[in-house]
């Protein structure tokens, strides 16, 4: 264990696995999760301490990592951390609005701490295999600390620019993934209606189509077997595309495809697919089709 005490907040699908990698590298001291049972399960497996509150974790840590759902969660949690952040390093790995993140970072800087946005490209499986890339925004001179901290859980830790820039890079990557999942769901639904077999569809997307990719390898088998167990929740993708649409309005760039997808993902959520994997967008297509 290094001298720096590292605390981790948010033991969801991604956070649990990232925290486990940090623990294995001897870098984790204490954890907190809103639903305490998840933190207790983590502590039972890995033998680290569980904080009773965000404030307790913050006051007992030099470095605080957060991996939370959305803007509301990060604002709520960091609201408790900011007043305690003097001399501390905050690394938020959640995918949230770049503006929200930059505003929080300014408050942390005013309190005498450093904050970075450090969103993740890759899935929970990639975390387990330490294949994720972390895209980092924040004060450049402190970046080597973030890089050293996250190396045990990532294949690459890449500095993008000032606060919020890691998140812009993440949104760009996810814009393409959101569009890909929309296209894939639509094409598979079309293929099924036309009478192609499961095997033919699988072969097409994994071996023949020029669009074959790690994402098709991961998602096509899930869609074809109706296995919508969550790797990346559909509700999180909806949240991401809504951030993209808001940002595009601010930047005055047209994003007609992303805007349409925001509605499609929202409709899918309203049909009860919210907590399932993003590949359940294909299920949305089945539900609204005649075949
Ligand atoms: N899953 C992926 O493949 C993936 C990939 C890249 C990026 N991301 C991004 O990473 C972030 C986390 O994703 P995930 O899949 O790990 O999500 P998740 O499984 O839904 O976990 C969300 C975490 O946030 C906590 N939380 C939510 N609202 C909170 C609040 N108001 N106060 C305190 N804690 C709160 C949850 O606590 P409880 O346990 O109490 O609910 C849980 O620990 C998201 O921004 C997502 O878009 C995910």
- Statement to judge: residues 15 and 137 lie in one domain: yes
- Mention every residue, 6+ apart, whose C-beta is less than 8 A from residue 76: none
State the pLDDT at residue 2. Answer: 55
Low-confidence ranges of the chain (pLDDT < 50): 1
Q: Is 37 in the pocket of ligand 1 (CB under 6 A)?
A: no
Residue 214 resides in a domain: yes
Tell me, yes or no, if the pTM score tops 0.75: yes
117 vs 146: CA distance, rounded Å: 10
The pLDDT value given to residue 290: 81
The domain in which residue 118 lies consists of 6-162
**Which CATH number characterizes residue 132's domain?**
3.40.50.720
Does 173 lie in the same domain as 120?
no
12 and 151 within one domain: yes
* 80 plus 65 within the same structural domain: yes
Asked, for residue 94, whether it belongs to a domain, the answer is yes
Query: Are residues 129 and 17 both part of a single domain?
Result: yes
Number of domains forming the structure of the chain: 2
Of 162, 185, 215, which residue sits at a domain end? 162
Q: What are phi and psi of 37, to 5 degrees?
A: -55, -35
Question: Per-residue DSSP letters for 133-146?
Answer: EEEEES-GGGHHHH
| CB crowding 177-209: b at 16 or more within 10 Å, else e | bbbbbbebbebbbebbeeeeeeeebbebbeeee
Identify whether residues 181 and 89 lie together within a single domain.
no
Minimal-distance CA residue to ligand 1 atom 7? 120
Contact 68 CB / ligand 1 (< 6 Å): yes
Please check whether residues 153 and 177 belong to one and the same domain.
no
Q: How many angstroms separate the alpha carbon of residue 68 from the centre of ligand 1?
A: 4
Q: Which of 162, 187, 215 is the last residue of a domain?
A: 162
DSSP one-letter string for 24-42: HTT---EEE-SSHHHHHHH
Cα angle 18, 124, 44 (rounded to 5 degrees) comes to: 50
Cα dist. 166→34, 118, 122 in Å? Answer: 26, 6, 14
Q: For residue 43, tell me if it sits in a domain.
A: yes
**SS3 of 156, please?**
strand
Q: Which two tokens stand for residue 244?
A: 């993209």
Closest-lying ligand 1 atom to the alpha carbon of residue 93: 10
Does residue 1 lie in a domain region? no
Tell me if 232 CB under 6 Å of ligand 1: yes
Q: E-assigned strands of the chain? A: 6-9, 30-32, 49-50, 63-66, 89-92, 114-117, 120-121, 133-137, 156-161
What are the start-end ranges of the H helices in 25-151? Answer: 36-46, 54-59, 71-81, 98-110, 124-128, 143-150
Same domain, 215 and 270: yes
Residue nearest ligand 1's atom 48 by CA: 232
Measured from the CA of 35, which atom of ligand 1 is nearest?
40
Quick one: 82 and 182 in the same domain?
no
d(CA 28, ligand 1 centre) in Å: 19
- Domain limit, last residue, from 117, 132, 162: 162
Same-domain status, 78 and 103: yes
The average confidence (pLDDT) of the chain is 97
CATH code, domain with 232: 1.10.1040.10
Residue 178, ligand 1, Cβ within 6 A: no
Spatial contact of 68 and 90, defined as CB atoms under 8 Å apart: no
Q: Within a domain: residue 40?
A: yes
Domain for residue 25, yes or no? yes
Same domain, 151 and 70: yes
Residue 194 inside a domain? The answer is yes
- Does residue 241's CB lie within 6 angstroms of at least one atom of ligand 1? no
CB atoms within 10 A of CB 227: 12
Best residue among 7, 8, 11, 14 to mutate for probing ligand 1's pocket (most ligand atoms within 8 Å of CB) is: 14
Query: Does residue 114 lie in a domain region?
Result: yes
Q: Would you state the pLDDT for residue 291? A: 72
Judgement on whether residues 11 and 107 belong to the same structural domain of the protein = yes
**Cβ–ligand 1 contact at 261 (below 6 Å):** no
Burial class (CB in 10 A: 0-12, 13-18, 19+), 89: buried
């Amino acid at each position: 264990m290094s001298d720096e005490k590292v605390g981790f907040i948010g033991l969801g699908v991604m956070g649990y696995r990232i925290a486990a990698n940090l623990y294995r590298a001897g870098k984790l001291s204490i954890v907190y999760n809103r639903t305490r049972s998840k933190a207790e399960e983590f502590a039972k497996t890995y033998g680290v301490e569980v904080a009773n509150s965000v404030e307790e974790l913050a006051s007992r840590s030099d470095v605080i990592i957060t991996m939370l759902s959305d803007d509301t969660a990060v604002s709520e949690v960091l609201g408790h951390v900011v007043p305690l952040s003097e001399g501390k390093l905050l690394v938020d790995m959640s995918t949230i609005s770049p503006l929200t993140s930059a505003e929080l970072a300014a408050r942390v800087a005013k309190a005498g701490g450093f904050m970075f946005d450090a969103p993740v490209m890759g899935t929970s499986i990639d975390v387990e295999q330490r294949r994720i890339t972390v895209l980092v925004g924040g004060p450049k001179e402190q970046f080597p600390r973030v890089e050293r901290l996250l190396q045990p859980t990532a294949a690459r830790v890449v500095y993008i620019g000032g606060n919020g820039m890691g998140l812009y890079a993440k949104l760009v990557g996810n814009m393409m993934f959101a569009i890909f999942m929309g296209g894939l769901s639509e094409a598979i639904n079309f293929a099924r209606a036309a009478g192609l077999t499961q095997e033919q569809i699988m072969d097409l997307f994994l071996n023949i189509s020029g669009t074959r990719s790690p994402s098709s390898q991961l998602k096509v088998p899930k869609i074809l077997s109706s296995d919508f167990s969550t790797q990346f929740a559909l509700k999180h993708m909806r949240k991401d595309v809504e951030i993209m649409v808001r940002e595009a309005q601010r930047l005055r760039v047209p994003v007609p495809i992303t805007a349409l997808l925001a509605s499609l993902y929202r409709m899918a959520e309203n049909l009860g697919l919210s907590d399932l994997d993003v590949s359940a967008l294909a299920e949305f297509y089945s539900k609204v089709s005649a075949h």
